[in-house]
C-alpha cells in the first residue's frame, strides 16, 4: 500500500516536472536590447610634443600610433561608428591656458570611411600640451545621443598637467551621466604618475588600463577594444532607488543601473504574484579608491518590514565589484484563500533594500555614488519539495540490505504461519 502511494506520488511529481520543463522555455529575453543602435567608439589620441620621442622599438611614439591606427581602421567591424579625437595637436606655444584647451575632433563619429580617416590620421604631427580632461569631456559629447554602447579609447604618453580639472574626476562625472560609457586607457610610457592617472580613469568607468610597449601590442589592444564595443550587450535602464520602502520605484523584470553613495540605503519595489519567483541580483562597483574590506547586503522585505530573505557578501582586497543575489518563491495561493474564483490574486509588493559597507579614505569624493547594477527576474515558482531525496526514493547498500532483510523476515514469517496453519488443518 505504502509503496503504491509512493509510486503514485512519484508519477505525479514526474508528470508535473515534465510539464513544467516543457511549458517554460528559458527566460524569455526580458528586455529586448535595442539591437538597432550601433555601438559608438571614439579613439582619443595624444599628439602632444612628447610623442616625438623614439622609444617604441626604434620608432617614434606617434608613428607607432599612426601605424596602429591604420591597422585598426582596416579591421573595424562594419556596425561600429568610429570617431577620432586628438589632444595637443594644434597649439605649439607656451601659453598654458590656450594649450590646455587644445583638443579637437579629427574624424566625426559615424559610419567609417576608411581612406578618409587614414588620411586624416596621416596629417598628425606631435605639437602641444596634454589636456586629457577636456579631451574626455569633448569625446563624451561627440558620442552623445542614441542608446547604444559607447567606448572611449584613450592613448597617451603623458599625464594631464593642465589642472585644476582632474581627468579622473572628469571620467567619474562622465560615467555618472548614466550613458553607459566606458573609457579604456593605453599608456605608452611606464611612468608611475601616468599609470596612476590612467588606471584611475579606467577604474572610474569600468574600463581597462594597458601598458603598451610596442606597435603590435598597441594595434592588437586597440583592435580588441573596438571589437569589444561591437559585442551586443543589453543596455541597462537607469533608475533611482529611494530612501525608504514607501517611496521606492516599482521595477519590472529587467536590468537596471543606479548610483549608491557609501553608507546610504537604496530601496526598490517589485510586485510578485503568487506562484512567481523573484530573482534579484545586484552588484556594486568599486569605481574609486576604497578601503580594503567591504560588503553589501540585499534584503527582500515585506511592505510591513518583515525580512523575507537576504543576500549578503563581503570581500577583501582588490576588486572591481561586489555582488550578491536572492530569490524569493512566492507559493501558489490556496483555493480556500481565494474567495472569488474570478478575482486575480493580488500581487505582493516586495521591497528590496540595498546597503553597502564600503568605506573610503577622507580624500576620496563620495559623490556621485558608486555604480549599482541590478537585475530583476520574475519566473514561475518551483514546486515545494516534499522530501530531501529525489521523489523520496532510496539509494545505497544499506537500503538494499534493509529491504532484503525485510523480505526475508516476511517470507519466513509467512512460511511459518502457513506451515502452522497446514499443521492445524491436518490435526483437525
From 15-23, 113-121, 338-346, 358-366, span contacting other proteins (CB under 8 A)? 15-23
- State the nearest-atom distance from the C-beta of 94 to other proteins, in Å: 32
Tell whether residue 78 is a contact of other proteins (CB under 8 A).
Answer: no
One of 165, 321, 338, 360 touching other proteins (CB under 8 A): 321
How far apart are the C-alpha atoms of 322 and 338, rounded to whole Å? 42
In this structure, the strands spanning 254-260 and 209-211 are: unpaired
- Contacts with other proteins, 391-410, as mask; x by CB under 8 A: xxxxxxx-xxxxxxxxxxxx
Binders of other proteins among 360-389, rule CB under 8 A? 373, 375-377, 379-389
Residues of this chain, 17-76, that bind other proteins according to CB under 8 A? 17-18, 20-21, 24-33, 35
Which residues, in sequence order, are bridge partners of residue 151? 41, 182
Stretch that binds other proteins, among 63-71, 201-209, 336-344, 355-363 (CB under 8 A): 201-209
C-alpha cell at 395: 539509494
Shortest Cβ 8–other proteins spacing (Å): 15
How far from 138 is each of 85, 97, 135, 174, CA to CA, in Å?
8, 17, 5, 11
Question: Which residue from 122, 141, 411, 423 is in contact with other proteins, where contact means CB under 8 A?
Answer: 411
Q: Is 199 helix (H, G, I), strand (E, B) or coil?
A: helix
Residues numbered 204 to 223 that lie near other proteins (CB under 8 A) are 206, 208-211, 213, 217, 220-221
- The answer to whether 138 and 43 are in contact (CB under 8 A) is no
**What does the DSSP 8-state code read for residue 123?**
T
User: CA–CA separation, 387 vs 7, rounded Å?
Assistant: 14
How would you class 14 by CB atoms within 10 Å of its CB: exposed for 0-12, middle for 13-18, buried for 19 or more?
exposed
One of 44, 89, 137, 253 touching other proteins (CB under 8 A): 253
- Report the nearest approach of other proteins to the CB of residue 266 (Å): 16
Taking residues 99 to 138 in sequence order and writing x for each that binds other proteins by CB under 8 A, - otherwise, the string is ----------------------------------------
Alpha-carbon span 331 to 239, nearest angstrom: 29
Residues listed for the chain: 428
- The CB-of-417 to other proteins minimum distance in angstroms stands at 9
Q: What is the DSSP string of 99-119?
A: HTT-EEEEEEEES--HHHHHH
Q: At what angle do helices 61-75 and 215-230 cross, to 10 degrees?
A: 40
| Residue 21 vs 58, nearer CB to other proteins | 21
CB 43 within 8 A of CB 82: yes
Instruction: Identify which range of 45-53, 82-90, 158-166, 309-317 contacts other proteins by CB under 8 A.
Output: 309-317
**Strand 254-260 to 237-238 pairing:** parallel
- Binder among 227, 291, 332, 348 for other proteins (CB under 8 A): 227
**What is the smallest separation between the CB atom of 390 and other proteins, expressed in angstroms?**
4
Amino acid at each position: 500500500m505504502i509503496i503504491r502511494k509512493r509510486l503514485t506520488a512519484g508519477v505525479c511529481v514526474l508528470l508535473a516536472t515534465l510539464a513544467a520543463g516543457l511549458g517554460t522555455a528559458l527566460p524569455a529575453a526580458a528586455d529586448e536590447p535595442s539591437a538597432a543602435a550601433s555601438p559608438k567608439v571614439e579613439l582619443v589620441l595624444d599628439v602632444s610634443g612628447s610623442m616625438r620621442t623614439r622609444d617604441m622599438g626604434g620608432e617614434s611614439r606617434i608613428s607607432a600610433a599612426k601605424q596602429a591606427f591604420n591597422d585598426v581602421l582596416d579591421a573595424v567591424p562594419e556596425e561600429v561608428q568610429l570617431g577620432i579625437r586628438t589632444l595637443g595637436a594644434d597649439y605649439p606655444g607656451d601659453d598654458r591656458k590656450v594649450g590646455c584647451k587644445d583638443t579637437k575632433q579629427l574624424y566625426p563619429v559615424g559610419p567609417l570611411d576608411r581612406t578618409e580617416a587614414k588620411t586624416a590620421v596621416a596629417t598628425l604631427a606631435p605639437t602641444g600640451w596634454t589636456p586629457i580632461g577636456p579631451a574626455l569631456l569633448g569625446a563624451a559629447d561627440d558620442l552623445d545621443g542614441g542608446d547604444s554602447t559607447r567606448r572611449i579609447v584613450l592613448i597617451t604618453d603623458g599625464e594631464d598637467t593642465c589642472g585644476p580639472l582632474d581627468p579622473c574626476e572628469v571620467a567619474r562625472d562622465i560615467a555618472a551621466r548614466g550613458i553607459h560609457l566606458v573609457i579604456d586607457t593605453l599608456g605608452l610610457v611606464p611612468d608611475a604618475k601616468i599609470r596612476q592617472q590612467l588606471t584611475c580613469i579606467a577604474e572610474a568607468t569600468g574600463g581597462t588600463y594597458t601598458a603598451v610597449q610596442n606597435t603590435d601590442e598597441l594595434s592588437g589592444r586597440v583592435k580588441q577594444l573596438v571589437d569589444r564595443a561591437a559585442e551586443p550587450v543589453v543596455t541597462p535602464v537607469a533608475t533611482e532607488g529611494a530612501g525608504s520602502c514607501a517611496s521606492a520605484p516599482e521595477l519590472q523584470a529587467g536590468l537596471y543601473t543606479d548610483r549608491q553613495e557609501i553608507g546610504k540605503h537604496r530601496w526598490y519595489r517589485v510586485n510578485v504574484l503568487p506562484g512567481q519567483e523573484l530573482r534579484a541580483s545586484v552588484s556594486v562597483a568599486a569605481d574609486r579608491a576604497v578601503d580594503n574590506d567591504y560588503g553589501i547586503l540585499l534584503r527582500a522585505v515585506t511592505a510591513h518590514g518583515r525580512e523575507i530573505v537576504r543576500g549578503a557578501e563581503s570581500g577583501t582586497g582588490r576588486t572591481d565589484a561586489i555582488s550578491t543575489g536572492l530569490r524569493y518563491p512566492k507559493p501558489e495561493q490556496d483555493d480556500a484563500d481565494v474567495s472569488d474564483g474570478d478575482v486575480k490574486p493580488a500581487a505582493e509588493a516586495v521591497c528590496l533594500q540595498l546597503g553597502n559597507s564600503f568605506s573610503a579614505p577622507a580624500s576620496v569624493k563620495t559623490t556621485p555614488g558608486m555604480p549599482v547594477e541590478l537585475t530583476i527576474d520574475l519566473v514561475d515558482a518551483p514546486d515545494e519539495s516534499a522530501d530531501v531525496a529525489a521523489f523520496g526514493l532510496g539509494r545505497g547498500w544499506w537500503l538494499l540490505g534493509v529491504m532484503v532483510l525485510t523480505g526475508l523476515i516476511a517470507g519466513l514469517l509467512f512460511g511459518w504461519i502457513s506451515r502452522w496453519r497446514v499443521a492445524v488443518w491436518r490435526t483437525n
